Structure formats: structure tokens, C-alpha cells
Amino acid sequence: LKKSDIEAVIKNPGRIRVYYQPVVNLTSGRLWGYEALVRGEGILAKPGRLFKSAAAYRLLSELDTACFWAVLAGGYPPEGYLSVNVTAAGLVDIDAGAYANPRLVIELTEYGCRDIQQLTGALSAWRGNGARIAIDDVGPDIGQLRAALHLKPDFIKWDRSLVASCVGHSSKRLFLAQALEVCRYLGAEVIAEGIERPGELKVLQDLGVEYGQGYLLGRPQPGWEKAWVMAGGG
């Protein structure tokens, strides 16, 4: 991606659209809240690529701030949490005192490592001002769980790679059970991401995973009413 195209998004955050994907309590079927996902035309059509490119150009914090602004401009849903993806770079730079809210979940997404002390300091500021913290994309790599030990998150989000591997293999299910134990020990609740198949949902429910998200439960939609009604909740 071209640097100038990324700079154009940063200068004009009004171009950023926000989609909402419901997160559901796997026991009660009730709504936990929504993850906000940025979308749009052109380079905004594939935000994964966009954020990786922005990191390479050292524009991550600026892009993060622009997206955070776009998400908050959309307001809070009528009920539940609003979970916003923020990289370590953005988390440190966005003013927690101005934006923290009891219904805000900061979903920490990693692109390049930052000073751990600076990061824990920023997380404390967000939490001290009332926001919740989630660690995003925790996969089979034990290092990510170890990082979570220091960050003391309220929620840990299991990556799709972890969820998809759980069906049919008892050893993988055992691994999931152990990962859940670690999360419980940390005092964090688990949100399983990328649930696509009924078999995956069943395994996660049997294990006692608290919350879930994925195409099976509801796709990202341009408005939360639509997202939750399409998910069969509204």
C-alpha cells in the first residue's frame, strides 16, 4: 500500500465506516456487546493489510487514532460493551482520561512490540478511568498467554486458529481446557472468536467458555440493530 493513501485516510477519518459484530454469552444466548471493525472503500476494504502497512511506515499510532475517533463518533450501542481494536502504539497515545467509559473495552491488538512498562502504564490509565481491557488474537502460541500474565486483562480473546482446531481431536480439546484454566487463573473471561461451525460452538459451550463471536452467531454489519437482529437476538 502507498504511504500517501494511508496518510489520506488519517487526514480524512470521515471516510472510515464502522461495522459491528455481536459477541454473545454462550450460556444464556444474551448479548455481551459488539466488536467495532473498520471498513470502507479502497484501502479501507482490507483493514488487516492496511494496519500492517501502516506499521511499516510508522503511521500506526496516527491510523489507530483516526479509527478510534471514527468508532467513537458512531456512539455506544443501546446495550452491552463496545469493543474497539487498538494497537499498543495507539493505546499509549490516545488520552484515556478523555475517552474511557465503563462500556468501552480496549481490545489490544499487537503489531510490533512496545516497551512493556509503557504499555502496562497505559493499560492502568485506561482501567483507572473505567474502561475494560481485552487481549486480542490469543492463539496456540503459549507466549501470548504469558504476555497476558503481565497485562491482567478483563477478557482474553481466543483466535480462530485455536477455536477451529478444537473439533474432532481430543488432545486439542485438552489443550483448550488447559488454556481456559490459565485464563481463569488470570481472572480473565474468555471470548472465543471465529466460531463458524455448530461443532465448534458445542465444544466451547461444553468447556464452559463464557462468550463467543463468529459468522455462526452473527456477521459484522453496518449497524448494531441490524447485527443483533440478523444474529437472531433482536
Binding region for Mn ion (CB under 5 A): 85, 107, 136
- Work out whether 109 is an interface residue with Na ion (CB under 5 A): yes
Residue 31 or 86: the one with the smaller Cβ distance to ligand G is 86
- What type of residue sits at position 184? R
- What residues between 55 and 74 interact with ligand G by CB under 6 A? 64, 67, 71
The two beta strands, 132-138 and 155-158, are parallel
What is the end-to-end Cα distance of the chain in Å, rounded?
A: 39
By CB under 5 A, residue 35 contacts Na ion: no
Stretch 90-109: interaction string toward ligand G, x if CB under 6 A: -------------------x
SS (HEC) of the chain: CCHHHHHHHHHCHHHCEEEEEEEEECCCCCEEEEEEEEECCHHHHCHHHHHHHHHHCCCHHHHHHHHHHHHHHCCCCCCCEEEEEEEHHHHHHCCHHHHCCCCEEEEEECCCCCCHHHHHHHHHHHHHCCCEEEEEEECCCHHHHHHHHHHCCCEEEECHHHHHCCCCCHHHHHHHHHHHHHHHHCCCEEEECCCCCHHHHHHHHHHCCCEECCCCCCCCECCHHHHHHHCCCC
Q: Decide if residue 214 touches ligand G (CB under 6 A).
A: yes
Q: Is 87 in the site for Na ion (CB under 5 A)?
A: no
CB closer to Na ion, 157 vs 198? 157
Residue 228 contact among ligand G, Na ion, Mn ion, none, beta carbon within 5 to 8 Å by kind: none
Measured from the CB atom, the residue of 19 and 186 that comes closer to ligand G is 19
53 near ligand G, judged by CB under 6 A? no
Q: Which C-beta is closer to ligand G: that of 9 or that of 67?
A: 67
Q: Judged by CB under 5 A, which stretch of 129-137, 164-172, 174-182, 192-200 contacts Na ion?
A: 129-137
| Minimum distance of ligand G from residue 110's CB (angstroms) | 10
The only residue of 116, 215, 225, 234 in contact with ligand G, by rule CB under 6 A: 215
Phi then psi dihedrals of residue 203, to 5 deg: -60, -45
Q: At what angle do helices 170-185 and 198-207 cross, to 10 degrees?
A: 50
Quote the least distance from Cβ 168 to ligand G, whole Å. 18
Residues 6-35 binding ligand G (CB under 6 A) are 21
Nearest position to Na ion, beta carbon: 109
Which residues make up the interface to Na ion (CB under 5 A)? Answer: 109, 136
Which residues make up the interface to ligand G (CB under 6 A)? Answer: 21, 37-38, 46-48, 51, 64, 67, 71, 85-87, 109, 136-137, 160, 193-196, 214-215, 220
